[in-house]
Chains A and B, each alone.
Chain A
Amino acid sequence: MDLHSSIYNDEKLLKKLDAIREITIEDSLENEMVINMGPQHPATHGVLRLVLRLDGETVMAAVPELGYLHRGYEKMAEDMSYIEYIPHTDRLDYTATLCNNVAYVLAVEKLLGLESPKRAQYIRMMVAELSRIAAHMVAIGTYAMDVGAVTMVMWTFREREKIHNIFDKLIGARFTTSYTRIGGVAADADDEVLQMVKEFLDQFHSALDEMDKLLLGNKIFIDRLEGIGVLSKEDAIEYGVTGPNLRASGVEYDVRRAKPYLFYNELDFKIPTFSEGDCLARYFQRGDEVRESVKILYQILDKMPKGEIMANDPKHVLPHKTEIYTKMEELIHDFMLINYGINPPVGDVFFSAENPKGELGFYIVSNGTGHPWKMKIRSPSFCNLQVISKLCKGAMISDVVAIIGSLDPVMGEADK
């Protein structure tokens, strides 16, 4: 008697077991396979999970699953005052904290109808552009590392480190900046900081060229990216993709130009675009944007005006600490602002700013009290991730890594 029939009495099970015994290696290759990529995968930039259906090495379908870093920032916003929320914007896109800070306070200022002084706005522009360079450095470095060029990440992080040293001097923190305030910025940029920025910019161009030389002379790098993950112009618009990914598909849309905020309308800069829409174009796009940011920064340093860094609006703007300790009026205002909030008028505003990842928008609904009634964060990474299943379909499994890297999502922002 067969060994199987002595153990199992079930006829069906026996047949199944017999069938399994006849499976060969060729059979298993002919069938489709479902695998999990992430949430703990080094190439998924955090905790993105992709469920892939594979036929051999070809991806038949890719389903992204989000929510592994969901902290409920929109819920928390409803329970804290507008000023308290500033540090939480750091934790959205943690590679470009200052861009988030700037976008958030600009949204609140739009709700209040408040304008901060010119110097404060120029400083905001300066830190936002520095932050953009730092974020793109992370994006390019990790992207190159994902597709095999590991040296690149050392070089880009070296440049990013210099930017963080500037932040350290200006803000007192490197990552968790929380630098902007409603109506201005927390600290003035003194001559030493401006000098540091200038020194950084002067050496940065050659560093960028060096990086380009390292990557673009590398045949493997080009071969792995060229023609991979092509996002057409129509699809990009249809899926609400923004930022470098949209511009790499040939749409000349940049919030800094379309709806100029701060003083971007006073500056002269180009919006680089590429028509290919593939992974390589998205790499070039980020490189070109960094070069434009350098141009913008030189202009900001030239034009940096003198003056106040906080708006003169005691009902909405926090007074300086030394004034609180010495003046009665300021003490009262500080008490009221901290305990009851800034109480913006009833209404709702949507404000969006150009972040390194795309268009970061804040939709704030106020009912006249110190807490927002509702705060919606339109996070660019979330919107950009939506095309991933379309781009991955039909690609090879090794291309998936390149596609994720080229879209450059940050899960802190996508999951909110």
Chain B
Amino acid sequence: MEFKELIKKKVRNQFGDAVEEVVEFRNDLSITISKNNIVDFAKYLKEDSDLQFVTCKDLTAIDWATRKKRFTVVYHVYSFKNNFTIRIKSNIDEEPPQIETVSSVWESADWYERETYDMYGIKFINHPDLRRMYMPEGFQYHPLRKDFPVIGIPGSLPLPKKVE
């Protein structure tokens, strides 16, 4: 449990007010950071010799639908040295939904960010190849947004025409 305190202390010292919230729930530590500091924060976590969060396990977003800051981008990063997973969150506005990419810090974030862009329409600025991951190129919607119905939107995907 000492390591958690160390992270909290180091992060608070380094980033001060940019750290918006630190929450512990079911032994998971999550830190909310302001969206402008996300790349610096990622670099710091990766390169600090005590922390060494060298691999990005997962990256996704949450659509809160009714909140003022509609989306939260969620990162899970892991440190082999300390055997510890930390969750980073960053709240972003609905318009425009964009945040700086962390794929320059963690190579693996490349595809995760593409997936998040596909599903939520969040633009990752400076991403090397921001294309859709699963849905076809011309698809207009972002399926994991809460305003997209579960049954889909009729006519949004071109289907083969009925042969007369």
Contacts and interface: CB of A to CB of B under 8 A. Distances in A.
Interface of A: 66-67, 70, 72, 74-76, 78-79, 110-111, 113, 235, 237-240, 251, 253, 258-259, 347-350, 352, 359, 361, 363, 365, 373-374, 376, 378, 382-383, 386, 415-416
Interface of B: 25-26, 28, 30, 54-58, 60, 62-63, 74, 76, 80, 83, 85, 87, 106-108, 110-111, 115, 119, 132-136, 143-144, 148, 150
Contacts of A416: 134
Contacts of A347: 25-26
B134 A415 contact: yes
A65 B119 CA distance: 16
Contacts of B58: 350, 361, 363, 376, 378
Contacts of B110: 386
A376 B26 contact: no
Nearest to B134: A67
Chain A interface mostly helix, strand, loop or mixed?
Answer: mixed
A350 B28 contact: yes
Contact of B55 (A67, A113, A238): A238
A66 B76 contact: no
Nearest to A349: B26
Contacts of B25: 347-349
A240 B76 contact: no
A253 B81 CA distance: 11
Contact of B143 (A75, A258, A376): A75
A378 B106 CA distance: 16
B80 A363 contact: no
Contacts of A350: 28, 58, 76, 85, 87
Nearest to B110: A386
A237 to B, nearest CB: 5
B7 to A, nearest CB: 16
A237 B54 contact: yes
B80 to A, nearest CB: 6
Given A70-B135, A237-B55, A365-B62, 9 more contacts: A67-B133, A74-B144, A75-B150, A240-B57, A349-B28, A359-B57, A373-B62, A376-B60, A378-B76
A352 B57 contact: yes
Contact of A238 (B76, B108, B133, B144): B108
